[in-house]
Structures are given as C-alpha cells and as structure tokens.
Amino acid sequence: MSAPLNWIQFIGAVELGLVYSFVVIGVYISFRTLQFPDMTVDGSFPLGAAVAATLITAGINPYAATFAAVLAGATSGIVTAWLSTHLRMMNLLAGILSMMALYSINLRIMGRPNIALLGENTLLSGWLGTLPNYISLGIISILFATSIYWFLSTRLGLAIRATGSNPKMGRAQGINDRAMITAGLSTSNALVALGGALFAQVNGFADVTMGLGTIIYGLAAVIIGEALFPTRTIFQAIVACLLGGILYFLLRAMALNVGFLQASDVNLVTAILVASAMLLPNLKRRVFKDNKS
Amino acid sequence: MQVLIINIALNLIQTLQKNISLVLTIFTTTIFSSHATQASEKPILPLVAITQIVQHGALDDEFKGIVTALEEAGYIDGKTIHLVSQNAQGNIATAGLIATNFASRNPNAVVAISTPSAQTLIKPLQDQHIPLIFTAVTDPKEARLVSTLDERLEEVTGVSDALLPGPQLDLIQKFVPQVKTIGIIYNSGEINSIKTIEGLKEEAKRRGLTLLLAVADKSSEVIPAVTKLIGKVESIYVPNDNTAVASIESIVTLGKKFKVPIFAGDSGSVERGAVASQAYERIALGKEAGRLVVKILEGQKAGDLKIKTNHPLVLMLNLNSAKEMGMTIPEELKKEAKIVGEKS
C-alpha cells in the first residue's frame, strides 16, 4: 500500500472522525431521512464551538457550556426549518441563508474571530481526561449514536422518517410535516453543534472559519459509509455513518502521506472518493447481474 | 429499554459479521503499513516541518525567510536537513490532519506560520515534546500558545508580528497632514486584524483622529467596503489582513480614481500599489523564525528562547501611486524611504 499511516496519525484521524461523527449523523438525518440537503451545518458547527468556547472561557462548567452549544445548534435548525416551511423557501437556499447569518452571529457570540481554550477546564479534562481522547470521544459518540437510534425508533422519529420518504403519504396519515421537518432539522443541527463544541474542546480553540466544508465532510462520510456497509435498518445506517466518518478521515490522512499529493489536493481526493463511493453500488449491481446471466 | 439494548446488541453482531473482514483488512493494512514506513524512514538527517494556513504573499515570504535562514546556517534541504511543508489552504480540519501528520514523523522542530496553524499543532507536539516555532502570530499570549511572553516552561517559541499603532498613524499623518478621518478595511473573522484595530482605535483617540471601519469578510466584499468609505475619509489604511491584502489592487484602483491615498500595514502591498507602509519585512520575520529553528537544531530548548517582538520598521514608498492619488511627497521622506515604482 502506498499510503501508509503510523499510530499517531491513525489515532489523530480516528479522533477527528469521532468528533465529526456527530456531524455525519446530523447530515444523515437531514440529508437521508428528511431528503433536505441542509447547508446550515457549515454555520452550526462553528456555532457549537463558539458557544462552548465563550462560556468555558467565562468560567461556566464545560458540561453546561456543551449543553448550551447543543441548544444553540437546535435553534439554528429550527430557523432553517421555519424559512423552508413557512416562507416556502427552497431547501438549499434556506440552509445557505442560515449559514451566512450564523457567520455574523458566531462573531457576535465570540466577540472576536478566535478563542483559545488551551489550559481551560473542558469536557475532556474531568474524569474523561483520565482516558485517552479517542476512548472518551468513542464513549460520547456511542452514547449519542444510541440515543439517536432510540429517538428515530420512537413515534416521533418514525413520523420524521415518513415525512422524508413520502410527505404526501405522511400528511394523509395525519403527520404534521412542518413540525417533523422542524424536529428533524433541530436534532440534526444540535448534533452538528455538539460536534463543533467537541472540536473546540479537543483541539483547544474555536475559530470562526472552522465551519468551512463541514457539509462536504458529512456528505462524504455518509456516502462512503452507505457504499461500504449495509444500511437496511436505521441501526445499520447509524453504524455505517460512524464508520464512514472514521474511514473518511483515515483516507484523508493517508492522502496527505502520499508523496506527490499536497494538502491542497485533499479536496480533489475527497471528490474522487465520494464519486467512487457512489459508483460502487452500481458496479456491484452490474457485476452480480453479469454473473447471473 | 431492555428490548432496546437487546435489539442493539443483535443488530451490532449482524452488522459486524457482514463487514468484519472488510473493516479488519482496512484497519490492519493501515497499521501494518505504518510499521513499514517507520522502518524505512531513516532518521539520519534532522527533520524540520513547516506548515502555513493559506497561500499568500506575506505568508509565502515568511516561508522563504525561514528557508533562507536555515540555508545561511548551513542547513540545506536534502543535504544537511530534511524539510517537509504542508499548506492547509484555509481549512482547519486539514490543518488538524497536518498537525498529526507532523507529530507522527517525530521532527526536530516544527514551524507554524499563522495563529490557527500554531493552535492546531500545539497539543499533538506538546504530547511528544517536539519544539514548536510560530511566526505570523500577532498575539501569542491570547492565542494561548504561551502563558507569558518572558517566562515559559513550554517547548514553544516564535516571532510575534504585532505592529505598534503609533508608527502606523505617524506614517499617515506625515503624508496627509490634514487627515482627520481614516478609513480601515478589514476582515472581522481574522483575530490578527481585530487585535491591530483595537490598538489603532486607542491611539487614534489619543491623537483626536476618527477611524471609520469597513468590514470585508470575503474578497467580493472589498470593493463595496471601499466605496462605503470614499467621500468620508481623507485616507484609507489597509492593515495586515489576509482578505484586504489579497484584494489590494482593487482598493488601489479605487484610491487612484477618487484620489484617496491608500496606506498599508505590509510592504508587499506597497509594491502592489499602495502609497506607503511603515512595516516589517516579512522575509526578515521569517528569517528570525528560521534563526530560532537553527538554535533548536543546535541543541537549545525552545522554552529558553525569547519570543521575538518589535522588529525594525522599514518605510516603503510607491511614487507612481502617490502621483496618481494626487499627492506630492516631501523630499526628506523620499530620502529615508525604500522606493518602488520610481519611473515618473
């Protein structure tokens, strides 16, 4: 293999994958279950970081700060949903508007573009700090993946999924699709903001530009996960999201190690990865068909 | 609840059974191949790793300066040292991957050009006691790279590019004596610009000058920001701001059109058309950082090396621009300045 990784890089990529796993599950909820390509995440990711970092530097307990970040993320999802359902705005446009507004809002929240958290008390410096980061992040990640699985299996979760797959049918069954889109997008952005809050606490700073490309990472991970792992049940889909995220960051880290590739080529590598991941199911189908005939 | 747990367990087993071979191959190949590299990477030459957050003139000059200082001390890439460099192209997640990539190679020194680059590197490097040298950072203390500028225990040192506000306003008042209001164009998303403007505001107040701020967070917002200022200000100052500096040509064009002199916080912008700057030479700052790297390669501890601040200022003057912006430059200012664009 021409793209090796050593232990530190491997762990670094896994950590990044775990932090972004919340983004991936969030994107999965909006993009796959609601069929809503939600650009808000490019703004709600730094929003989570901004809220958590601002509160932590103000001396607030990191658990409370992280919780506030999650609430802020949920609110941003509600705004996007409102733009889309009440103002009848195109999905993509509603997300882009929220994302743009969030850039200014994040600057307001932080009061400046960059807050450093190094040396502050964070989620990962309490009892979780006794464990290596990848284990504590793994615990948090599995905890939330489980609760999201539980959430999507409740009546509300089922209604959200029904709205996504067939809004007309959903309405006929008495489901309020506006409320479902709102619930889905707020859950999705709450998760993304949690990812942002964790990113800031793991890496020691929040920066207003850190949202750039969040949606792409989320989509790439969802698509890679779906291509490689079965997604027939919601549970499988969530596991696929988690593994897809970790795998994506591992592949990115490997791309950095290839001699002729530079960090600036990583976006191209992402595009090729996603395109090939999307080709894979087609290819599989064709190969199996050929075998049968 | 019990049903849920059983359900999860069953599902997990099923999913893993189907994919275990695939997952295992992927994960083992990565780990096994890692051992292969560690064996093949012979640490004969000392390794210096350099990263910067984006590609643009000032940061590229810092990079050149670092390499030059290393070469002057006899550390030549491929001969006496091994040099690796990566550019995050403005993306913080990529910067994170670069940081672990660098930490994993166990280099003798790592140089970070810009605040976010240094912030992403600091944790992975500290864990392994790899020295970090930063440059193009305005306030290393507020960026939490160091606890205090003087006494430190960390494996961190570097170069701060904070410009004192006094000489900046001196420059504008020298060239435009009647100046009352100064327009400033900056990106509200850049911590370095915000710090600069905080200092300028205080100093301007003391001198009875008014600052009029115009925000341009993207290069497409630069022209509207300039037009917002025109007619209200006697001159425009462009601080060391990535977004504004990247679009300096369009600011200069408008300055020439409306006869508003444009001043800059960096010398590169004067070469590209601003009237004058009283600034650090980026290559010189890069060299300072490079010399810190040399000291570390020679066995000194980063924590013992002082952070470099307040470097010599160089007055740069663009005579063509001055003429086109309707200014006459006093002879004595011409004498002390480094002049670019002299064909008049």
Q: For every residue of B280-327, which 3-state class applies, written as one string?
A: CCHHHHHHHHHHHHHHHHCCCCHHHCCCECCCCCEEEEEHHHHHHCCC
- A125 touching B (Cβ < 8 Å): no
How far, in Å, CA of B11 to CA of B259, rounded?
72
Backbone CA torsion sign across A135, A139, A140, A144: positive
What DSSP string describes B107-142?
-SEEEEESHHHHHHHHHHHHHTT--EEEEEES-TTT
DSSP 3-state of B177? coil
Contact at CB, B119 and A118, closer than 8 angstroms: yes
- A13 touching B (Cβ < 8 Å): yes
> In what side-by-side order are the strands of the sheet with B109-113?
B82-87, B47-52, B109-113, B132-137, B156-160
- A271 touching B (Cβ < 8 Å): no
- Residue-level pLDDT at A284: 73
Q: Does the pLDDT of residue A226 top 60, yes or no?
A: yes
Give chain A positions within 8 Å (CB) of B103.
8, 12
Q: A62-85 and A177-203 are packed helices; what angle lies between their axes, rounded to 10 degrees? A: 140
- B190 touching A (Cβ < 8 Å): yes
Interface of B with A in 120-159 (CB under 8 A): 120, 122-124, 128, 142-145, 147
Cα→Cα distances B293→B75, B138, B268, B289, Å: 10, 19, 25, 6
**Averaged confidence pLDDT in chain A:** 89
Contact at CB, B94 and A266, closer than 8 angstroms: yes
- Give the contacts of A135 (CB within 8 A, at least 6 positions apart): none
DSSP 3-state of B210? strand
- Give the contacts of B332 (CB within 8 A, at least 6 positions apart): none
How far, in Å, CA of B235 to CA of B262, rounded?
6
Q: Which of B36, B91, B145 sits opposite A212 (nearest CB)?
A: B91
A182 CA: distance to closest CA in chain B (Å): 26
Tokens of A169: 């049918």
Q: Does the pLDDT of residue B2 top 90, yes or no?
A: no
Asked if residue A38 lies in contact with residue A214, where contact means CB atoms within 8 angstroms, the answer is no
Tokens of B96: 């994170």
Backbone angles phi, psi at A255, to 5 degrees: -60, -35
Burial of B16 per CB tally in 10 Å (0-12, 13-18, 19+): exposed
- A82 touching B (Cβ < 8 Å): no
Asked if residue A51 lies in contact with residue A65, where contact means CB atoms within 8 angstroms, the answer is yes
Q: A266-292 and A214-228 are packed helices; what angle lies between their axes, rounded to 10 degrees? A: 20
Contact at CB, A256 and B26, closer than 8 angstroms: no
Nearest CA in chain A to B145: A118
- Residue-level pLDDT at A265: 77
* Residue A129 binned pLDDT confidence (cut-offs 50, 70, 90): confident
Contact at CB, A6 and B37, closer than 8 angstroms: yes
Asked if residue B89 lies in contact with residue A264, where contact means CB atoms within 8 angstroms, the answer is yes
Give chain B positions within 8 Å (CB) of A229.
15, 18-19
Chain position carrying tokens 């679009």: B247
Give the closest residue to B312 by CA, choosing from B269, B282, B271. B282
How far, in Å, CA of B75 to CA of B296, rounded?
12
Range with the lowest mean pLDDT among A249-253, A289-293, B156-160, B208-212? A289-293
Q: Does the pLDDT of residue B344 top 50, yes or no?
A: no
Q: Does the pLDDT of residue B73 top 90, yes or no?
A: yes
pLDDT in tens, B26-46: 555 555 454 444 444 445 799
Burial of B13 per CB tally in 10 Å (0-12, 13-18, 19+): exposed
Burial of B39 per CB tally in 10 Å (0-12, 13-18, 19+): exposed
> A260 versus B308: which is more confidently predicted?
B308
- Residue-level pLDDT at A290: 66
Backbone angles phi, psi at B187, to 5 degrees: -95, 120
Nearest CA in chain B to A112: B191
Neighbouring C-beta atoms of residue B4, cutoff 10 Å: 12
* Residue B219 binned pLDDT confidence (cut-offs 50, 70, 90): confident
> A254 versus A152: which is more confidently predicted?
A152
Per-residue pLDDT, averaged over A137-161, amounts to: 93
Provide the phi-psi class of A213: left if phi over 0, else alpha when psi is between -120 and 50, else beta: left
Contact at CB, B8 and A8, closer than 8 angstroms: no
- A273 touching B (Cβ < 8 Å): no
Interface of A with B in 137-196 (CB under 8 A): 146, 149-150, 153
Q: Does the pLDDT of residue B51 top 90, yes or no?
A: yes
Asked if residue B164 lies in contact with residue B90, where contact means CB atoms within 8 angstroms, the answer is no
pLDDT in tens, A231-264: 889 999 999 999 999 999 998 888 877 777 776 6
Cα B70 versus chain centre, distance? 19
Helices (H), chain B: 2-40, 57-72, 92-104, 115-127, 165-175, 191-207, 222-229, 242-246, 248-258, 267-271, 282-297, 319-324, 331-336
Give the closest residue to A81 by CA, choosing from A118, A121, A117, A34. A34
How far, in Å, CA of B130 to CA of B102, rounded?
10
Cα→Cα distances B316→A5, B173, B176, B268, B309, Å: 47, 15, 16, 9, 20
Give chain A positions within 8 Å (CB) of B34.
4-7, 9-10
> B127 versus B6: which is more confidently predicted?
B127
Contact at CB, A119 and B147, closer than 8 angstroms: yes
Give chain A positions within 8 Å (CB) of B116.
114, 205, 207, 209
Chain position carrying tokens 């001159």: B235
Q: Does the pLDDT of residue B14 top 80, yes or no?
A: no
Nearest CA in chain A to B127: A8
**Averaged confidence pLDDT in chain B:** 85
What DSSP string describes chain A?
--S---HHHHHHHHHHHHHHHHHHHHHIIIIIIS----TTHHHHHHHHHHHHHHHHHTT--HHHHHHHHHHHHHHHHHHHHHHHHTS---HHHHHHHHHHHHHHHHHHHHSSSEEE-TTS--GGGSGGGGS-HHHHHHHHHHHHHHHHHHHHHSHHHHHHHHHHH-HHHHHHTT--HHHHHHHHHHHHHHHHHHHHHHHHHHHTEEETTTTTTHHHHHHHHHHHHHHHS--SSHHHHHHHHHHHHHHHHHHHHHHHHSTT--GGGHHHHHHHHHHHHHHHHHHHHHHHHHHH-
**CA terminus-to-terminus distance, chain B:** 84
Contact at CB, B18 and A6, closer than 8 angstroms: no
Asked if residue A268 lies in contact with residue A258, where contact means CB atoms within 8 angstroms, the answer is no
Contact at CB, A12 and B33, closer than 8 angstroms: no
Q: Which of A4, A12, A263 sits opposite B86 (nearest CB)?
A: A263
Per-residue pLDDT, averaged over B66-94, amounts to: 90
- Residue-level pLDDT at A1: 39
Give chain A positions within 8 Å (CB) of B194.
112-113
- Residue-level pLDDT at B16: 55
DSSP 3-state of B47? strand
Q: Kindly report the pTM of this predicted structure.
A: 0.78
Give chain A positions within 8 Å (CB) of B115.
114
Give the closest residue to A51 by CA, choosing from A130, A11, A107. A107
- Residue-level pLDDT at B168: 93
Neighbouring C-beta atoms of residue B24, cutoff 10 Å: 10
Chain position carrying tokens 């115009």: B214
pLDDT in tens, A165-199: 888 888 888 889 899 999 999 999 999 999 999 99
Largest Cα separation within chain B, whole Å, is: 88
Percentage, residues of chain B above pLDDT 90: 44
* Residue B337 binned pLDDT confidence (cut-offs 50, 70, 90): confident
**CA terminus-to-terminus distance, chain A:** 35
Give chain B positions within 8 Å (CB) of A11.
100
ipTM tops 0.85 = no
Contact at CB, A1 and B29, closer than 8 angstroms: yes
Nearest CA in chain B to A110: B189
Give chain B positions within 8 Å (CB) of A150.
4
* Residue B64 binned pLDDT confidence (cut-offs 50, 70, 90): very high
- B25 touching A (Cβ < 8 Å): no
Give chain B positions within 8 Å (CB) of A247.
26
Q: Does the pLDDT of residue A3 top 50, yes or no?
A: no
Give the closest residue to B57 by CA, choosing from B286, B224, B254. B286
Helical (H) or strand (E) element with B230 = none
The CA R_g of chain A, rounded to the nearest whole Å, is 19
How many C-alpha atoms does A244 have within 13 Å on its Cβ side?
A: 32
